[in-house]
Amino acid sequence: MKRIAKKIQFELNYKIVSNILFGIVGFLVFCHILSLTIFDWSWQWEKFFNLDFENNIPTWFSGFLWLGSAIVSFLISSTSENLRKRILWFSVSLFFLYLGCDEVAVFHERLAGFIYSWIFGYNPNFNGRNWALILPPLAIIFCFGISLLLREDFKTHLKPAVQIAIGFFIFILGAAGFDFLTGILVNIQSLNRTQRFMIIAEELLEMSGSILILLGLLEFLNARNRRLRYS
């Protein structure tokens, strides 16, 4: 696997790849807005493209992005110099794989309830957006710890590292911040339009953040391969 990863050259035009991925995001947002206007005539369209629904085209696209990040992280792990770094990058790969599976399976609420009951001794019956009080802080702690342990790699490839960090911040802002606020507004009828806007903003931030992370990892792997090739 290490030999294969070294031979892979991601000589990508990042501008083109970025435009394609963000273009897909724009298309999905357009289809979501369209679903809000035609759902009385075509409920199937809303089922396929509504950003607030699960197990449809937007969620599968988000899962695809995280799966891509998991694969690239695994390739970075296979080209790492020592066992410690390989284990750390493999942990990052598993983390992204979890995010990809969760986009489709949506088990973060049950996981948050399990963690809460394990820490405090009882299950608070997490529902709605309350999971955002438990999992995002743990994800931030995990990523901060990994970034400290991999600081030598990130210092060597500072530009993609910064892009990954920005992508993670944008994703957390959408997944936790806007998602939690949307849950507060869901029962306030006078703020119905605001809630619809926040759903779009939430999903837009989540997908944009995951795209930045994927592109940053690809650039990191590309820089790693160039350094290995000429070292």
Look up residue 10 and give its DSSP letter. Answer: -
CA trace torsion 195, 29, 104, 208 (10° rounding): -100
Domain that holds residue 211: 2-230
- Average per-residue pLDDT in the chain? 78
Tell me, what's the pLDDT at 6? 47
Tell me, what's the pLDDT at 102? 79
Note the pLDDT tens digit of each residue in 118-172.
Answer: 665 655 555 555 566 666 777 788 888 888 888 888 888 888 999 999 999 999 8
CB distance 204 to 177 below 8 Å: no
| Start-to-end Cα distance in the chain | 19
| Residues 110, 112, 114, 120, CA torsion sign | negative
- The pLDDT-based confidence of 91 (bands split at 50, 70, 90) is very high
Tell me, what's the pLDDT at 157? 86
pTM of the predicted model as reported, rounded to 2 decimal places: 0.80
- How many whole angstroms separate alpha carbon 37 and alpha carbon 24? 20
pLDDT (mean) for 10-17: 68
Residue type, 135: L
Domain count, the chain: 1
Tell me, what's the pLDDT at 139? 78
Q: For 121, phi and psi rounded to 5 degrees?
A: 90, 0
Tell me, what's the pLDDT at 178? 63
- CA distances in angstroms from 231 to 11, 202, 226, 228, listed in the order given: 18, 43, 8, 5
Note the pLDDT tens digit of each residue in 42-64.
Answer: 667 778 888 877 788 999 999 99
Note the pLDDT tens digit of each residue in 171-214.
Answer: 988 877 666 666 555 555 554 566 677 788 888 999 999 999 99
Tell me, what's the pLDDT at 172? 86
Q: What share of the chain has pLDDT > 90, as a percent? A: 28
